[in-house]
């Protein structure tokens, strides 16, 4: 097999790893967003149920309609069930674990991108590229072992939309140029 063919196969394999990390990173971000939204909604419902229970108790004690006390008892039971769920499933903590995983994956993702750039520009040789690839793979393995699973089905859908339709990870030359000094820009706008 020709030397250039080995180089292309190595580059292709590293590109594949990069793609998987991009997807996993975005999926962890979306899982965190979903869990945050659920956590915030549950907290809002808890506040509303607490207010309704308190209001109902005051109305039952100081009013002349005893059925309000029964309604307040039912609302209080629902609040207790919801509070028990929140205690058992720490959505805020799980969301933070997904955010931490995404932050760690960001660094690995960018390292893969740098490695692809180094290989493409031939600024490193294949043995050095293999060493860096293996190191990144070991870092990924360690990270995946300590990360929560991304089994939230809607997170995959949101990640797909973000990456393929909304192009959240891509920028045009014009967009990048807006962040750079004039001397470093590619476009003439």
pLDDT surpasses 80 at 177: no
% of the chain beyond a pLDDT of 90 = 52
How many degrees, rounded to 5, is the angle at CA 26 between CA 23 and CA 27? 80
pLDDT surpasses 70 at 3: no
**Cα separations (Å) of 1 from 6, 8, 9, 124?**
7, 12, 11, 21
What CA dihedral angle connects 90, 91, 95 and 98, to 10 degrees?
70
d(CA 55, CA 129): 67
Predicted pLDDT of residue 1? 45
Token readout for 8 is 């292309």
Question: In this structure, what DSSP letter does residue 148 have?
Answer: P
Token readout for 112 is 């893969």
Predicted pLDDT of residue 181? 73
pLDDT surpasses 60 at 2: no
Predicted pLDDT of residue 173? 73
8 A C-beta contact, residue 151 and residue 94? no
d(CA 29, CA 99): 6
Cα dihedral across residues 32, 36, 39, 42: positive or negative: negative
Closest CA to 94 of 52, 54, 38: 38
Token readout for 10 is 């190595």
User: pLDDT tens, 71-108?
Assistant: 999 999 999 999 998 888 889 999 999 999 999 999 99
H-type alpha helices, 89-148: 91-120, 126-146
pLDDT surpasses 90 at 134: yes
Q: Tell me the backbone φ, ψ of residue 122, rounded to 5 degrees.
A: 60, 35
d(CA 78, CA 86): 12
Give the pLDDT band of residue 180 (cuts 50, 70, 90): low
15: which residues sit within 8 A by CB, 6+ positions away? 116
User: 19-28, 92-101, 103-112, 179-188: which has the minimum mean pLDDT?
Assistant: 179-188
| Cβ count near 83 (within 10 Å) | 14
């Amino acid at each position: 097999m020709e030397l250039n063919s080995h180089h292309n196969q190595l580059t292709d394999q590293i590109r594949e790893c990069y793609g998987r990390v991009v997807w996993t990173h975005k999926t962890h971000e979306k899982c965190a967003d979903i869990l945050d939204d659920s956590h915030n909604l549950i907290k809002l419902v808890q506040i509303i149920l607490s207010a309704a229970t308190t209001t109902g108790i005051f109305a039952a004690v100081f009013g002349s309609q005893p059925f309000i006390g029964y309604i307040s008892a039912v609302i209080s039971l629902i609040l207790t069930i919801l509070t028990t769920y929140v205690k058992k499933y720490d959505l805020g903590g799980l969301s933070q674990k997904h955010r931490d995983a995404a932050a760690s994956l960001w660094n690995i993702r960018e390292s893969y991108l740098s490695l692809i750039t180094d290989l493409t520009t031939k600024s490193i040789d294949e043995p050095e590229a293999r060493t860096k690839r293996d190191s990144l793979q070991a870092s990924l393995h360690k990270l995946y072992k300590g990360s929560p699973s991304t089994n939230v089905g809607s997170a995959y859908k949101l990640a797909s939309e973000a990456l393929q339709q909304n192009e959240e990870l891509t920028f045009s030359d014009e967009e990048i140029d807006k962040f750079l000094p004039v001397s470093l820009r590619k476009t003439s706008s």
